[in-house]
Structure 1
Amino acid sequence: MTDTPAETPSRYSRMRTFWRSIKGKIFLVFFSTFISVAALTLLNYWSMSMVTDRLHLLERYEDLLNNVLEVRRFEKNFLFYNDPTSLQESLEYLQRIDVIFEELGADIRQVIGNVAYRQLTGVFLVYEDIIEEARDEPVAHQEQLRSLGKELVESADALLKNKRERIHRAVVRTSFIPFTSLVVFGLLMFLVVKLISRGLLVPLATIKVTTQRVARGDFRPISPTADQIEEIAGLIGAFNRMAQELEANQEDLLQARKIAALGTFTAGIAHELNNPINNISLSAETLGELYGEELDEDANEMVHDIIMQSERAGEIVKNLLDFSRTERPAFSPLQVLDVIDSTVTLIKNQLMVTGVTLDMDIPEDIPDIQGNLRNLQQVFMNLLLNAIQAMPGGGAITIAAREQGQKMVRIEVRDTGAGIDPKVLEHIFEPFFTTKEVGKGTGLGLAVMYSIVQRHGGRVEVKSEPGKGSVFAVILPRAEQ
């Protein structure tokens, strides 16, 4: 008993959804068509049955008139030849007329009314009585027989004509049924065309125009209407969500295009710079080895500075080459915990020196990811080093992993640092963009990381609030089973 109130809204909702859907409207149109065809068929059958019955009655009216005419014929034989047997024949035909009258009594009342029916019945009875009396006194009733006989013939003929007119009107009404069927089918066809045109073709045309508009970069959604078919409303809702996703990812697409263009540009520069930098470094090392003892302290320091700056320039060139590299590295299934552990081992000293604590929340049953170990170590090392640098006075870093959908794994690096200003946040993945002092950063760390994650078929998400830390999420595809 307690389930009934809860079921009623659900059942009503399902029914309302069904009648607003295409299949519900098509069902309604075809059900209406079926009911209309059935009703017109029954009406036509009833009309034809009625006409058939009236034709049978018409035959009996003709029998009535013929019997009345026979009575008049024998009446004239009696009046002209004074033949008593003719009166007997008239009485026999009058008995037949009585049977027909009894059979057609109800219908005659409908044709001429109750008053006229009683008058006609009275005329027949009087005529029959006079026939009986005329046997004994033929001469006395001649004039009365003529007048009553003439009245009977006129009444029977009038009944027949009236009945024929009524049958004619019934046939005319029946003939209108096919035209009525044509009108009904025309209306139903109009409803079907209107349903297809207004419910399907118009919304599809709107979606087509909007798709062309989206292709030009206009992501305005389609405005839904209250009378939309359920399936079309769902399609428009999905289209609007797609447009919103495209608009939301437009910045990422522009960023990816910008990085790709810069990568192509910097690749050539990096290769051109690599050889001179190596020569400078090699020359400085050779100079120090051959003439180091002959040089004074200032000269040796300058040689050492040349070597150190050459190494730094070489590291920058290496980052440029990593950033611009487009070939796909060798991927293999990797355990998330192994990737993180191997990366943390490389920066363990920085963690200890800065007093930053590290917590890991990586379930044992987390699925493997598909990737290149060296590249992913570079990704998470960049994130961890940035987190350490954001907390110069100490803090906490949390690395957590979980499944995202059925095909991706989400690995988050969370810190309790100063956070990132919203104006800066939208530029952090741009190459050469940095907030560090001159000489302390190249602005390639996050750009290289972004490029590596993209080559792995993943994406990077970031959330940050000034004063409350930052969360960088690296979303990577699961390894194929």
Structure 2
Amino acid sequence: MEVKESISGSNLGRWIVQHTRLDSIKGKIFVIFIMTFLFIGGLSALHFWNLDTVKERMILSQQYDDLLNNILELRRMEKNFFIYGGRESLKESRQYIEHINKLVDSLADDLPVLVGQKVFRRFQSTLNRYNKQVELVLSGEPLTRKALRVLGKELTDSAEQFRHIKRERIHKAISRSSILPFAFLGIFLFLMILVIKIIALGLLRPLDVVKATTQQVARGDFSPIRYKGKRLEEIYALIEAFNRMAQELETNHEDLVQTRKIAAIGTLTAGVAHELNNPINNISLTAEAFGEIYGDAVDEEGQDMLRDILSQTARAADIVKNLLDFSRTERPVFAHLAPANVMDSSIALVKNQFRIAGVYLETSITDDLPPIAGNLRNLQQVFTNLLLNAVQASPQEGTVKVCVELADDQQHIRFSVKDSGPGIAPEIRQQIFEPFFSTKQVGKGTGLGLAVSFSIIKRHYGRIDVKGKEGEGAEFIVLLPCVSEQNNVFSNSLRSKA
């Protein structure tokens, strides 16, 4: 039980800390409402206390009225005695004196606070002296009228003073109560001003910045938001998310432009390749037939020329084949493939090239990686091309490093092929995946290898990129989604097309 209470207490503490952080809009509003609640609670308690005080003073005010009324009745009996001379009036005044004494006893706690202890005692003394004068008259002692009247007037003046002071106190208490509604209104207005200020400065102003930046994105400007205002938690998270989105949009926009460019070139080259395929085949067949029929009659120089014709037609046929592969848009048949097997089989195809070129191969392939969905032949074509490019770029005794591992996002397999050559200049990195662009010498490359690889990886819902500083070798990185992630991407693609 104690453990559960401590856990719940710690959760409450974390909740309070989380909701009272002043670097967030939620925390600021929460603190303002808490402070407002405390102020309103204090004012409400003050209001109830004031009402209770007014009520108590109203009850006491009735007793002060009774005190004055009894003293006035006592003076009336005094007046009757002086006018008519009957002692019955003085006997009746005893009852009023008794009521006055009771009222004074009931007000013994309030009167000293109201008028001071000295005034209270003087009033009691006057009342006792008046009572003694009445008793002396009733016992037959001679009466001094002036003394009794002076004492009676003093009692009357004191009672009127008591009632007047009490009523002033009641009026002040009522005045305080009338101020409290305005205090409530002031706190409410202050709360509204603070909330409006927080919303205006902390929310609306940065949202205007986001709105303006969104319009820039719509015009093709993917510059990130640079907000110099107060960095509140929610706004900071929004701006960070927007900047990441803009960065992804810029990257995807470049990929989209690249894809559309390749698609347009692919459509063009497909037609050209088909038109070139027939004459190339005819030239190759004619040269072979000529060699079979007239080969013996041709001298050595003619034989060399014939072999050169066959060699160049084969090279032209390879170029046409690459063009057809590049322009092919149909979706290949996918199967679940182990990433290690894909890379091992690709390395096996070009292993002899490493020996011939005198280049070393280092591999780092993680075991038990999640499978990918793809076409083995297509992926072998991609990695074979990357490996051959790495061999050709690396000097003799150089090293090509191959790495296959799980990507940081845990949703892709990362294939890396890094050479030890001169690297790729930053200004041409955006061009190397374009068709017919090549850094090799004329006659040693068609400029279609990376373009075809780019197209194949796109059909596998992956990405291909190049890294590495100039002079430190080039590293080509291929990211292919794991099976579950690729299924999600494929499903989303079908829904968007639908």
Q: TM-score range by the shorter chain?
A: 0.7 to 0.9
TM-score between both structures, scaled by the size of structure 1:
0.87
1:464 is matched with 468
Q: Deviations over 1:243-299 (max 9, x none)?
A: 345456665554344333322332232223222322333333334344444555544
Equivalent position to 1:415, from 391, 396, 419: 419
Q: Deviations over 1:326-383 (max 9, x none)?
A: 2221111112233233323332332222222323222331222221111111111111
Distance 1:340 1:152 in 2: 117
1:68 is matched with 71
1:441 is matched with 445
Q: Deviations over 1:418-439 (max 9, x none)?
A: 4334444443222212222222
Conserved? CA contact 2:81–2:90, under 8 Å: yes
The worse-fitting range, judged by mean Cα deviation, of 198-207 and 331-340 is 198-207
Equivalent position to 2:184, from 163, 166, 181: 181
Tell me by how many angstroms 1:447 deviates: 1.6
Distance 1:227 1:467 in 2: 44
Tell me by how many angstroms 1:224 deviates: 4.2
Q: Which amino acid in structure 1 is aligned with residue 27 of structure 2?
A: G
Q: Which amino acid in structure 1 is aligned with residue 346 of structure 2?
A: T
1:207 is matched with 210
Distance 1:133 1:391, change over 3 A: closer
SS of the aligned residue for 2:37 comes to: helix
1:325 is matched with 328
1:150 is matched with 153
Q: Which amino acid in structure 1 is aligned with residue 179 of structure 2?
A: F
Equivalent position to 1:357, from 360, 382, 387: 360
1:79 is matched with 82
Equivalent position to 1:104, from 99, 104, 107: 107
Q: Which amino acid in structure 1 is aligned with residue 456 of structure 2?
A: I
Tell me by how many angstroms 1:53 deviates: 0.6
Distance 1:422 1:150 in 2: 112
Answering whether residue 24 of structure 2 is matched by residue 21 of structure 1, we say yes
1:453 is matched with 457
SS of the aligned residue for 1:162 comes to: helix
Distance 1:60 1:281, change over 3 A: same
Distance 1:333 1:97 in 2: 108
Q: Which amino acid in structure 1 is aligned with residue 60 of structure 2?
A: L
Conserved? CA contact 2:19–2:26, under 8 Å: no
SS of the aligned residue for 1:374 comes to: helix
Distance 2:157 2:470 in 1: 114
- Aligned-CA RMSD value: 3.1
Answering whether residue 381 of structure 2 is matched by residue 371 of structure 1, we say no
Distance 2:140 2:146 in 1: 12
2:8 is matched with none
Q: Which amino acid in structure 1 is aligned with residue 457 of structure 2?
A: V
Distance 2:20 2:103 in 1: 64
Aligned pairs for 1:297-336 within 5 A: 297-336=300-339
Conserved? CA contact 2:434–2:451, under 8 Å: yes
Distance 1:146 1:350 in 2: 138
1:401 is matched with 404
Distance 1:23 1:330, change over 3 A: same
Conserved? CA contact 1:259–1:431, under 8 Å: yes
1:166 is matched with 169
Conserved? CA contact 2:267–2:327, under 8 Å: yes
Distance 1:14 1:134, change over 3 A: closer
Conserved? CA contact 2:22–2:28, under 8 Å: yes
Number of aligned residue pairs: 473
Conserved? CA contact 1:134–1:141, under 8 Å: no
2:481 is matched with 477
Distance 1:255 1:14, change over 3 A: farther
Conserved? CA contact 2:340–2:404, under 8 Å: no
The worse-fitting range, judged by mean Cα deviation, of 13-22 and 326-335 is 13-22
SS of the aligned residue for 2:418 comes to: strand
2:434 is matched with 430
Distance 1:38 1:317 in 2: 86
